[in-house]
């Protein structure tokens, strides 16, 4: 995969060098300690990663989704957590740039592009994951404000971030349910409480938290797009970029696992020869590289449609499904190639394995995505 111009490709190459130089030496330390990588975040701000896909008009780099997906692959192939720090942020930025009012764009996008403000996206609730229309967080109009009550769960970037794009019910009685949903740009303030950082099997270092809102007030000017009832549609369009990103993270993990396994298979000997010469290992390596390259092609296809401004929910779903499953399968096969050493924290492969499963669950479970793919297929090829 190549970027669409030499400047963008040079940036991808620079990110690859940075990931090897700055991320690989510290990934194990931060992961094991579950510590937020503050210094790494500052480096990402200086590189412009928080403005990667934001238009130059607002101070961003204006990178294509195609180029952005390659950046994510490079980062995730070394350490997935940092890619999550700027991913949720850029989904919020894309939603504001696509759907926000002119005032919202002018006010937020330049500061988001610099990383001066960092954003999270608040969709999931304890009772509502894949079924977003079941959310219970409400926003009731009171004069010039909305008063928000409810809670969100599994919100990345919410502890160290500054604002959340919050999905709420502005009309809990609307039918169909999605007609009563809106998005609010919610900056931290009285009534907005980060309950605590959640302990996770993998995807450590990044802050994933529960949020609680009690009589939290948001000015009406922070209703995304200035019109109620558009939140579900706005969320769906934002998830296209999010799913391309998650697919790229999965492809990155898959590629990183393949590289680790390929090196180890040439160094490790069993029965008098390097283990790559054993057919069982050869079969695993062949399957792994096929999964990696197949996922990359689907990510490229989805990215190009997104860049062209075309509807790409089918393509984004396929990219996310293929990338995340490649990450899970390749990390598991690499564990088998490493054998007993794969269970030691001294080897990076165990972190790849722990991180990979999140991608099959987040940004729409792969089971849900399969239904989206099937429905879109029938819609496009009706008889």
pLDDT at 77: 98
For the chain of 383 residues, list the mean pLDDT of each consecutive stretch of 10.
Answer: 75 96 97 96 96 96 95 97 93 94 98 96 86 90 97 93 96 91 97 92 93 97 96 85 93 98 97 96 98 97 93 93 98 97 94 96 90 93 90
* Residues annotated catalytic, as ranges: 363
Residue by residue, DSSP assigns 364-380 as S-HHHHHHHHHHHHHHH
Residues 6+ apart with CB under 8 A from 241: 53, 65, 90, 91, 94, 306, 316
* Torsion sign, CA atoms 318, 319, 324, 327: positive
Query: In whole angstroms, what is the distance from residue 68 CA to residue 83 CA?
Result: 11
b vs e for 350-361, b when ≥16 Cβ sit within 10 Å of the residue's Cβ? Answer: bbbbbbbbbbbe
Instruction: Report helix, strand or coil for 260.
Output: helix
pLDDT at 222: 98
pTM for the full predicted model:
0.93
Query: In whole angstroms, what is the distance from residue 347 CA to residue 196 CA?
Result: 30
Q: 65-76 and 231-267 helices cross at what angle (nearest 10)?
A: 40
Long-range contacts of 306-313 (CB under 8 A, 24+ apart): 306/65, 306/240, 306/241, 306/244, 307/64, 307/65, 307/66, 312/240, 313/236, 313/240, 313/372, 313/376
pLDDT at 4: 60
Which element (helix H / strand E) includes 298? helix 279-307
pLDDT at 2: 56
Which of 4, 107, 95, 15 lies closest to 54 in space, CA to CA? 95
- Count the Cβ atoms, other than its own, within 10 Å of residue 379: 9
Only one residue has tokens 């029965």, namely 271
Residues 6+ apart with CB under 8 A from 114: 45, 50, 51, 59
pLDDT at 336: 97
- Cα first-last separation, the chain: 35
Domains of the chain: 6-114 (1.10.540.10), 119-230 (2.40.110.10), 233-380 (1.20.140.10)
Instruction: Report helix, strand or coil for 135.
Output: coil
Query: In whole angstroms, what is the distance from residue 344 CA to residue 333 CA?
Result: 16
């Amino acid at each position: 995969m190549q970027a669409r111009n030499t400047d963008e490709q040079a940036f991808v190459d620079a990110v690859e060098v940075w990931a090897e130089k700055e991320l690989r030496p510290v990934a194990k330390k931060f992961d094991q300690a579950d510590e937020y990588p503050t210094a790494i975040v500052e480096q990402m701000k200086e590189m412009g990663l928080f403005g990667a896909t934001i238009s130059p008009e607002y101070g961003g780099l204006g990178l294509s989704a195609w180029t952005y997906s390659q950046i994510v692959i490079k980062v995730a192939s070394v350490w997935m957590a940092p890619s999550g720090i700027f991913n949720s942020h850029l989904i919020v930025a894309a939603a504001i740039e696509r759907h926000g009012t002119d005032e919202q764009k002018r006010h937020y996008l330049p500061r988001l592009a610099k990383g001066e403000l960092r954003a999270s996206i608040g969709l999931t609730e304890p009772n509502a994951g894949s079924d977003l229309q079941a959310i219970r967080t409400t926003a009731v109009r009171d004069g010039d404000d909305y008063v928000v009550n409810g809670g969100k769960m599994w919100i990345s970037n919410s502890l160290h971030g500054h604002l959340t794009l919050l999905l709420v019910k502005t009309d809990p009685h609307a039918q169909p349910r999605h007609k009563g949903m809106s998005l609010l740009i919610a900056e931290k303030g009285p009534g907005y409480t980060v309950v605590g950082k959640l302990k996770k099997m993998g995807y450590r270092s990044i802050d994933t938290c529960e949020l609680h809102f009690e009589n939290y007030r948001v000015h009406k000017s922070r209703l995304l797009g200035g019109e109620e009832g558009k939140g579900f549609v706005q969320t769906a369009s934002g998830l296209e970029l999010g799913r391309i990103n998650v697919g790229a993270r999965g492809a990155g993990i898959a590629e990183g696992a393949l590289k680790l396994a390929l090196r180890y298979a040439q160094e490790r000997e069993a029965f008098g020869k390097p283990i790559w010469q054993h057919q069982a290992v050869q079969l695993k390596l062949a399957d792994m590289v096929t999964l990696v390259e197949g996922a990359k092609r689907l990510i490229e296809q989805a990215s190009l449609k997104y860049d062209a401004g075309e509807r790409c929910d089918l393509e984004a779903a396929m990219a996310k499904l293929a990338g995340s499953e490649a990450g899970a399968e390749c990390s598991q096969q690499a564990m088998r190639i490493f054998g007993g050493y794969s269970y030691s924290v001294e080897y990076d492969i165990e972190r790849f394995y722990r991180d990979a499963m999140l991608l099959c669950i987040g940004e729409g479970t792969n089971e849900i995505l399969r239904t989206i793919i099937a429905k879109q297929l029938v819609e496009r090829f009706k008889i």
